[in-house]
Amino acid sequence: MTLKFPLWLCLLISTFVSAQETMSLKGSKPYPATENYTFICERYALTGEANVQIAKTEKGGILKLSITPSNDKMKISGGVYVYFIDGDVIACVDRNISETLDGKTITYYTFTPLEMNKLKKKNIQSIRFNVTGDLSKFGNQNGNYTAVNKQSYFSTTYGTSIKTFDTAKQISIL
């Protein structure tokens, strides 16, 4: 009995440690990543949300930004701005790395090691991005959008529940 308990405890701890999320860039090797955050994007009327995930690489990091488009011609393109709670900003250049998977358009942006250090220390407040596509079809959502680090649309000022994702904590664990 005394030997079985420590072995069982070690197995349980190793299961939690290996349960970390991963991300692969268009079929590349998997990188350790944060959970897939669902940020609120109020102006994007189609779904009202954008999915955000950050991975650590050998050369810095990757931002994975995805939305559900109205059709397969829509995509996230152009520069992306990552805003922090203290007003600091990281500007990401579009390297034209994107894909469509499971009905979502996904675009990847890279971070330098210096930018990853910023991400480890400060929580993300919002991410500003552009959606472009075929204007000839009805219902397209072309335009500029802001995905805000909020866990739900509605909350009260005096509520005790956590209202935002702790991005800095998860990125520092990577």
How confident is the prediction along the chain (174 residues), in pLDDT tens digits per residue?
Answer: 455 555 444 444 444 444 468 887 766 789 999 999 999 988 877 788 899 999 999 999 999 999 988 888 889 999 999 999 999 999 999 989 999 888 899 999 999 999 999 999 999 999 999 988 876 655 557 888 889 998 765 555 565 556 688 888 888 887
DSSP letters, the chain, are -TTHHHHHHHHHHHHHHTT-EEE-STTS--EEE---EEEE-TT-TTTSEEEEEEEEETTEEEEEEEE--SSTT-EEEEEEEEEETTS-EEEE----EEEEETTEEEEEEEE-HHHHHHHHHS-EEEEEEEEE--TTSTT---EEEEEE--S-S---TT--S--S--HHHHHHH-
For the chain, what are the domain ranges? 23-173
In this structure, are residues 149 and 126 in contact, taking their beta carbons and an 8 Å threshold? yes
For the chain, how many residues are written?
174
What architecture is the 23-173 domain classified under in CATH?
Sandwich (2.60)
In this structure, are residues 174 and 32 in contact, taking their beta carbons and an 8 Å threshold? yes
